[in-house]
Chains A and B, each alone.
Chain A
């Protein structure tokens, strides 16, 4: 090893050390990314997949029509519901429970939902002391708002009659055919 090479190495070492020291020194005065949770909470993106809620339509009625698609698509089988038929024609879930101790927050249920009822929210703070408390029932899931998708009401597009919307009054429907009349 000659003397010139030794000098180069020493120079590089000093340079590197200096740069590292400078970086440490510089970051000591930069605004910190880490926040001291839970005293400070960050704002998560609205598409964050956290706690699942059931939303309501613009008229304040439950959006869920108990079609069972969320429970069918759920890869961990954590959604259980039972459909009921209202006397007036609306279908709703009599019971709806999500086992959050099993849920993997994949968001398949939200994708499968044809009425935009089930939505994942940016809330992830769901610690409980017991497993059973992580099974959320319908009263814990149903919220009073429309969530991420305001304005959509499934029954305004469906063909069935509900109170306030008779057959043929849905968006894009013609008035019902008079079956007793044979005129063209």
Chain B
């Protein structure tokens, strides 16, 4: 640790930092283009020229690139030296030679690094009178607009795309002053983190194609610190709104979670709040009405009933909304749960319980430092940013092992990847547990992939066990936590939950209440069901039962901001604010409570769930406490986290581990040879599925089957098959895929819903000739 002298100011530096990093750390700007904190120094743009005075007084000062020159104690650096200024001015003048006259119609204008640097360093007028070089553009899909003329060849895009996000369909072509950044052929960028190119590019080559359709300048956007609602990672975002509509979402750095990047689901999924079919007026029996009439209707229904009342919260609804619904149900003597799927409920509670026992899940920054990981299921769809963190770990040499049933993009970086059918996953995990517990894995004679996984986990300095909860059973969760205990304290355990607030929802839901509620509705004991942000009727595994059960209800009261199957079937529908239109708290996969702020208001009156519940209680003659004190009663010393802060881990009473023998585990596994697996992709999520731009990239609906088992059953690649589940059948074409487990058919979520089967349930297959 020493100090460099930057224009006469002594600035401390960390060993190994270069001059540019040292200056940026001290909030002193040295003009630069190609340096990026995540991508490092390259020295391609030549803009960060500084003058360095050697310690040896006999030597003349020299101009060097700040991003390539290591900081040394006592080093004399000058940014303002005439020689350095001249170099920077010439660099900008050269970069501007071919830059098109586009600023008025360029979406980057106003937040353009090139604009800023030209104003800071460059000559005010163009001297060059020659002709400009031009490039053709490419169609990069519905999310990213390409305007190659504006390129300044800083290589940030390919360094992010290829080196950081490990994508392989964007690269540099040609040579000299004609270097071209693009795909080999037109087509959407395949990487789930491609949207970051918009922020990484210092000029307007890659711009947000969704924002472009309804463009506003950055100075006109209303912003407030927010949290991404699309998965349990809880990335910090900065949504921008104007004129009562949400326009875009950008990354907001969090030191331990998302530092520079967010995934495309977080960046483009926000369009759900602008969906044309979004309910904006309260509805009673299908007709639009006022908020007070709807509250009156709901209150009179609840008052008139003698039966029990059910309250179904949600994993994507904030902590306040769930807690207020629970408080109302406590007052009315009803049942509350946040899960419509009992299997998901037990798995999530088991996962939260095991995290409470073993220790908190690692942050993304910690995940990047691990050197071995065991990954159960598909993380790219269930927690995209954990996928990106694991890609960084892989770049540093971490060994990634996979146990998965359906294709997962991350498996291409696997050291060991084993496809396991959903029903055998628990057995395989137990085998791994036995191997590790026996302590003999390393010397085991049989060199199977499983012993490789055991050896890499046991040999690792820091290892990680992680699973996607949606495709796991509670037995698998408990086996994985036993595995983590067996591996010792250097092993971290984490789960990718389904829903931004799944951790918080699990803390509020008593074990077994989901199945109790479903059975009570089926038996006609519950006649009124309040659903807040959940979609029981659109559930894949239990949707059929819920749809049948809901016919017994006298009133289905739904609070939601999207038009789900449940919202469509609602007797009384309260449209509520989407996440940018209200403040709240989400608890992420680590148990970190993070607050998000209201970004803007729509012209329509859209209350949040907590507000509707409070008003409903008032109409019923009950008075509920305000959300902060309700939460304070549940979690001791709980303070609502301030939006824009890093959040803090929640201290909650420890959850009991649910009994592993779940009544709703696979019952009819032996009847059929085929089982269903969820084939997910990164845009596949309840809210994001209402975002048209993202949905344009949905993979083609096919039935993916492993080739050998398909050929054994006489199924050809491309042939048609008819799949039959509990609630319907569907004809799909077959696509062979090596990444599907034997005896498993991997199908998309909407197909699972239509068939009425869940991940791991059995399917009937019939060949269509």
Contacts and interface: CB of A to CB of B under 8 A. Distances in A.
B105 A177 contact: no
Contacts of A85: 212-213, 215
Nearest to A69: B104
B149 A167 contact: yes
Interface string B115-134: 00000000000000011111
Given A83-B216, A160-B100, A176-B136, A67 B175 contact: no
Interface in B95-126: 100-105, 109
A168 B109 CA distance: 22
B133 A91 contact: no
A157 B135 contact: no
A113 to B, nearest CB: 9
Contacts of A136: none
B135 A182 contact: no
Contacts of A69: 104
Contacts of B176: 184
A158 interface: yes
A170 B133 CA distance: 11
Interface string A30-69: 0000000000000000000000000000000000011111
A77 B216 CA distance: 16
Nearest to A115: B104
A177 B180 contact: yes
B178 interface: yes
A66 B132 CA distance: 25
A175 B134 contact: yes
A159 B175 contact: no
A29 to B, nearest CB: 56
A135 interface: no
A177 B178 contact: yes
A48 to B, nearest CB: 26
A116 to B, nearest CB: 11
B275 interface: no
Interface in B698-729: none
Given A83-B216, A85-B215, A179-B173, A159 B180 contact: no
Nearest to A182: B174
Interface in B672-720: none
Contacts of A180: 173
Contact of B136 (A157, A167, A170): A167
Nearest to B219: A72
Given A65-B105, A177-B180, A159 B215 contact: no
A91 B105 contact: yes
Contact of B132 (A68, A84, A115, A173): A173
A173 B130 CA distance: 9
Contact of B131 (A72, A173, A181): A173
B182 interface: yes
A74 to B, nearest CB: 12
Nearest to A175: B134
B193 to A, nearest CB: 24
Contacts, number: 98
A159 B243 contact: no
A172 interface: yes
B142 to A, nearest CB: 13
Contacts of B32: none
A161 interface: yes
B102 A158 contact: yes
A179 B174 contact: yes
B383 to A, nearest CB: 33
Given A82-B243, A177-B134, A68 B100 contact: no
B180 A179 contact: yes
A174 interface: yes
B136 to A, nearest CB: 5
B331 to A, nearest CB: 46
Contacts of B668: none
Interface residues of A, number: 34
Nearest to A83: B215
Interface in A148-178: 154, 157-161, 167-168, 170, 172-177
Nearest to B109: A67
A159 B182 contact: no
A114 B134 contact: no
Nearest to B138: A179
Nearest to A82: B243
Nearest to B137: A167
A182 B109 CA distance: 32
B333 to A, nearest CB: 51
A65 B176 CA distance: 33
A103 B220 CA distance: 19
Contacts of B173: 179-180, 182
A69 B103 CA distance: 11
B133 A174 contact: yes
Contacts of A181: 174
Contacts of A173: 131-132, 134
B109 to A, nearest CB: 7
B147 A159 contact: yes
Contacts of A65: 104-105
Contacts of B243: 82
B132 A159 contact: yes
A65 B102 CA distance: 11
B217 interface: yes
B213 A68 contact: no
Interface string B140-152: 0000000101100
Contacts of B102: 158-160
Interface string A88-123: 000100000000000000000000001100000000
Contacts of A184: 175-176
Given A158-B101, A159-B150, A179-B180, A72 B217 contact: yes
B9 to A, nearest CB: 34
A34 B631 CA distance: 77
A66 B212 CA distance: 12
Q: Of B130, B135, B175, which is in contact with the most chain A CB atoms at under 10 Å from its CB?
A: B135
Contacts of B178: 177
Interface string B481-519: 000000000000000000000000000000000000000
A11 to B, nearest CB: 66
A93 to B, nearest CB: 11
Contacts of B150: 159
B677 to A, nearest CB: 40
B104 A174 contact: no
Interface in B525-560: none
A32 B137 CA distance: 66
Contact of B105 (A72, A158, A175): A158
B172 to A, nearest CB: 10
A68 B216 contact: yes
A159 B101 contact: yes
Nearest to A64: B104
Contact of A114 (B104, B180, B215): B104
Contacts of B137: 161, 167
Given A72-B220, A159-B149, A180-B173, 6 more contacts: A82-B214, A154-B104, A158-B104, A167-B149, A173-B134, A179-B135
12 contacts: A65-B104, A68-B220, A85-B213, A154-B104, A159-B100, A159-B150, A160-B100, A161-B137, A167-B137, A172-B132, A174-B132, A177-B178
What 8 A-B pairs are tightest by C-beta distance, nearest first? A159-B100, A67-B104, A159-B149, A168-B134, A68-B217, A179-B180, A83-B215, A114-B104
Interface of B: 100-105, 109, 130-137, 147, 149-150, 173-176, 178, 180, 182, 212-217, 219-220, 243
